[in-house]
Amino acid sequence: MTGIDEYLRGFGEETGYLDYGRLGPLAAVVQDELRLQVDLLGRARYGAVDALLGQDERMRTAVASLVGFAPENIVSQPNTSMGLMHAMFSMTGGLLLSAGDFPSLTVAASRAAESMQVLVPTWLETDHGRVTPHTIKQQLTPAITAVAVSLVDTRTGYLADLDGIRQVIGERLLIVDAIQGFGVVDAPYEVADVIASGGQKWVRAGWGTGFLALSDRALDHLVPVVSGYTGTDDDEPWDAVPPPSRSARAYSVANPDYSAEARLAAALEEIGSVGIAEIEATVSDRVGEALELADEFGISVASPRAAHERAGIVILDPPDDQVALLVASLHNHGVTTTLRQNRIRLSVHAGTTSETLGMLRDSFVSFSTAIAY
């Protein structure tokens, strides 16, 4: 078992980094894995190719341990968006989702509807950007066969109630874009039918480390559209074209990036060894400290405060005429954040240090001084 302290020592980014919602700097175990993979690819020692090929099973096993799906129900993807594209283009019927959700969801749904003409998006009226069981229940119709939601909304920081949504939607498919919570939220993934995520944010495994997980119900409902030669049950289907596999491998086109799979597996193995609940609790503590700082300096917060409604994202929402001053103060104090639609997103991880929070506090002091004049 890896202890939380050892896990925290794997954070090597510069002090002041609060932007995991955009990119998580590589974990130490991932950097070690990357060096190993570079050596394998560079030297091509005897048996190196077989070692690389084994990374696919390793990755699927590591993902399975966190989401509760069988390894054969998981397939590698280059990113979250491609996983969602596979799912949307394979669906029929009505899909309920928020037009304000991250574009990976909305664009995939729209492109699939336009191209295949068998999927019909219905745009959900949200509760101030939050997709809740109540809002979904109010807008469900018999024509809706699936509901799509982000596990954590990137603009509001709201953590979706997957259990509540499942209770409301019944046997309809539940599609989850998990990227903003995967690795730091102990979510009930087993109630979902489609999970798409990547490892470049909170998992800290780098780009190219995505996956798609499909329940048995999803595999029965979906019809693979973009399914390549690796998407069959034959290793190499020479001289004939067999049908797509009945497993999740149907949603592959060619061989995956085995080195990327190794990076994702290394990161998830460490997370599994620490325990996701332990990481979630530590993230929650750090987020609480960030919220206290915002309150201390009277900076409005638009993201949830209740622990069960938040993950690692804190949204600062100062008056419009003060946004530029706060952004400048954060920049001048070396605090890395994201500005989106005149709101400032802080992404707080378990490895966020007291020194980083001290830099955040210093930036708030300067900001408060500036607006006082």
Residues in the chain: 373
What confidence score (pLDDT) does residue 90 get? 98
What confidence score (pLDDT) does residue 48 get? 84
Q: What percent of the chain clears pLDDT 70, i.e. is strictly above it?
A: 100
Nearest to 204 by CA among 8, 25, 63, 9: 25
Instruction: Give the span between the Cα atoms of 163 and 134, in whole angstroms.
Output: 12
What confidence score (pLDDT) does residue 356 get? 98
Determine which helix (DSSP H) or strand (DSSP E) holds 66, and give its type and residue range.
Answer: helix 55-67
Tens of pLDDT, residues 172-208: 999 999 999 999 999 999 999 999 999 999 999 999 9
Q: Tell whether the model's pLDDT for residue 373 goes beyond 80.
A: no
Token pair for 225? 């559209």
Section 33-48 average pLDDT: 91
Q: Tell whether the model's pLDDT for residue 2 goes beyond 90.
A: no
DSSP, residue by residue, 245-291: PSSGGGG--S---HHHHHHHHHHHHHHHHH-HHHHHHHHHHHHHHHH
Q: Tell whether the model's pLDDT for residue 29 goes beyond 90.
A: yes
What confidence score (pLDDT) does residue 369 get? 94
The set of residues, in sequence order, having a beta carbon less than 8 Å from that of 195 and lying 6+ positions away, is 67, 69, 176, 178, 189, 211, 212, 213
Q: What is the pTM (predicted TM-score) of this model?
A: 0.96
3-state secondary structure of 292: helix
Lowest mean pLDDT among 23-27, 36-40, 136-140, 250-254: 36-40
What confidence score (pLDDT) does residue 213 get? 98
State the DSSP code for 214. E
Q: Tell whether the model's pLDDT for residue 347 goes beyond 90.
A: yes
Token pair for 78? 């280059």
Structure confidence at residue 246 as a pLDDT band (50, 70, 90): very high
Mean pLDDT value across the chain: 97
What confidence score (pLDDT) does residue 44 get? 87
What does the angle CA 78 – CA 83 – CA 88 come to, to the nearest 5 degrees?
Answer: 150
CA 157 to chain centre: 12
Q: Tell whether the model's pLDDT for residue 54 goes beyond 80.
A: yes
Lowest mean pLDDT among 43-47, 284-288, 360-364: 43-47
Partners of 74 in the beta sheet? Answer: 213
Q: What percent of the chain clears pLDDT 90, i.e. is strictly above it?
A: 95
Of residues 45 and 349, more confidence is placed in 349
Q: Tell whether the model's pLDDT for residue 47 goes beyond 90.
A: no
What confidence score (pLDDT) does residue 39 get? 93
Determine how β-strand 144-150 pairs with β-strand 173-177. parallel
Structure confidence at residue 117 as a pLDDT band (50, 70, 90): very high
Q: Tell whether the model's pLDDT for residue 56 goes beyond 90.
A: yes
Nearest to 353 by CA among 6, 13, 3: 13
Token pair for 363? 């930036």
Structure confidence at residue 262 as a pLDDT band (50, 70, 90): very high
Section 45-67 average pLDDT: 94
